[in-house]
Chain A
Amino acid sequence: EVQLVESGGGLVKPGGSLRLSCAASGFTFSNYNINWVRQAPGKGLEWVSSISSRSSYIYYADSVKGRFTISRDNAENSLYLQMNSLRAEDTAVYYCARGMDGSGSGMDVWGQGTTVTVSS
């Protein structure tokens, strides 16, 4: 079964750090671009970051640039999001999602999400 499973969410104080993980299975992870998308409580979807299959291309939303770092380990079939200098507005469910085919393609496989709460 093609699957993405996020982990690492939790409660963190403003200014703190958190590292999210996304474990892939059921497909050749190294062939696909992967994305992070988040959704604040009661709000819409917001794209966070994308990484190409070989990590050659990395992109960030302006709202997280300089604070978040996306990375991947193709040998471990894993994606990561290092989140530093967290703010209350980073509170959201974070999803990892597979890009179908190249940059800008639709996201056809999504994880169930992991919840990040930034609060004192």
Chain B
Amino acid sequence: SYVLTQPPSVSVAPGQTARITCGGNNIGSKSVHWYQQKPGQAPVLVVYDDSDRPSGIPERFSGSNSGNTATLTISRVEAGDEADYYCQVWDTSSDHHFVFGTGTKVTVL
């Protein structure tokens, strides 16, 4: 089955840039979606199809995807960005499945 690997944690100072990676075999050939989840809340879609933002999501959130790594970049980090972040792909290699990454806890110092 397809596996997506994320770093367990990323720490960043306010105003700096956070980069969260999502590793998967040839992930560049798939569309990657990213979710933000704060404690006790449902996930929120922050980037879809590698680099598009839903309405209402700040431009500070951006995504890229190439080769074996997709990246979510949060620019000018704010305290309110502290949350868990998950990448996701639709895998059709053996069956049709959504796969979520292992998740990354972003801590704002």
Contact = CB atoms under 8 A, between A and B. Distances in A.
Interface in A99-120: 100, 103-108, 110-113
B3 interface: no
Contacts, number: 70
Interface residues of B, number: 27
Interface residues of A, number: 24
B109 interface: no
B interface, over-half SS: strand
Interface in B37-82: 37, 42-45, 48-49, 54
Contacts of B95: 59
Contacts of B42: 95, 110-113
A35 B98 contact: yes
Given A103-B90, A108-B45, A110-B42, A45 B97 contact: no
A44 B45 contact: no
A95 B1 contact: no
B48 A108 contact: yes
Contacts of B97: 47, 59, 61-62
Interface of A: 35, 37, 44-47, 50, 57, 59, 61-62, 95, 97, 100, 103-108, 110-113
